[in-house]
Structure 1
Amino acid sequence: MKKQNIITLLSFIAVAFSANAVDKYVTENVDIYLRRGPSSQYAYSNAVKAGQKVIELEKSADGKYTRIQLPNGSSAWIESNKLKDQPSFKELVPLLEAQLAEYKDKVDNAEKNQQNAIQDYAEKLQKAEQSIESLQAKNNELEQLNKQQEMKLESMLNQVDDKRRDLIVTWFTYGGLVAGGGFLLGLILPAIMPGRRKKDRWMR
């Protein structure tokens, strides 16, 4: 899988570099000696390292030689078949390393973000569970208080019923006494009143 990704990345970079016609790369076999002119009759001027990136300036009439510009700004002639359009591995390795480092950072950041998201979700879940437990505790407390209030209310109603019954019994008792007293008075008064009338007539 990694090998396939590297090949794909190499192809992408090669296409990107070949789009610029002036960029050329020295073959990677050996260091190449450069000449002062576009043929083997010209003397050597200097050398260029294998895989070195150079700039193509012009080609000879027969196309066998190409004048290139070196990184130090000087120019010389090189055999055209010693140049290629694709970057050398010497140029690609730093790019690949940078690309792989970027991918690694993205993967690490993705894993870190995922871990942070999981941790955040776990914290929210824990807070939700704590809130539910708190609400359940308050609900139980309210239910207990409601039961106590119901018991108090029932006790008060029982007391009211007891007092009502006591009051009814008291009124019945008072009523019975009054009725009994009236009945006795009704029996006693007639017996007393006639005697007094007879006595009054005798005294006359």
Structure 2
Amino acid sequence: MKKVLLAALLSGLSTFASAESAHIADDVYVFMNSGPSNQYRINGRVTSGEAVQILDRRDDYIQIKTEGGRVGWVPEAFVASGVSDLIHLPELESELAASKKRIDAQQQKITVLEQAAQTRTQESQESRARVVELEKEIAALKTQISNMDQSNLIRWLTHGGLVALGGVLLGLLVPYLPKRRKPRNDWF
């Protein structure tokens, strides 16, 4: 009998010695029972995310110990191993706030850059319109210069023709002009 009691005591101590760290699932409130089924009396409630130690497992129930020292049984489906995500919630909230600030700052930069891009686009369009206008003006000036060259050529040809005509007429008329006699000078 002493051996059985000693074996039971050692197995109970080994259960407490090998307590596994866990937590109640983050999305439930669980009632603890005094035994490994819902047929046992409810002896408390465990809130979601609360850290617990797993003491024993039977069927689909786990014996847990809360941080407050309460011991009870809960369905295995409501216990998750490791640390609760709720512990990280304040850290995650501060990271979220910092991320929102970064997003707001980036959104402001994006707005400034979009405005600058619109300004550059508008300037580019105005420049293109000015280039087209200047190209038309250059084409008009080239046409005008070409016309002036032709006009000058025609004018020079006309003047030259008139001078030649005048020379021919003068050449034809000179023989018919009365000749003046040269005075005779006999002194020699």
Smaller-chain TM-score range? 0.3 to 0.5
Q: What is the TM-score with the length of structure 1 in the denominator?
A: 0.42
Larger Rg: 1
Comparing both structures, which one devotes a greater share of its residues to helix? 1
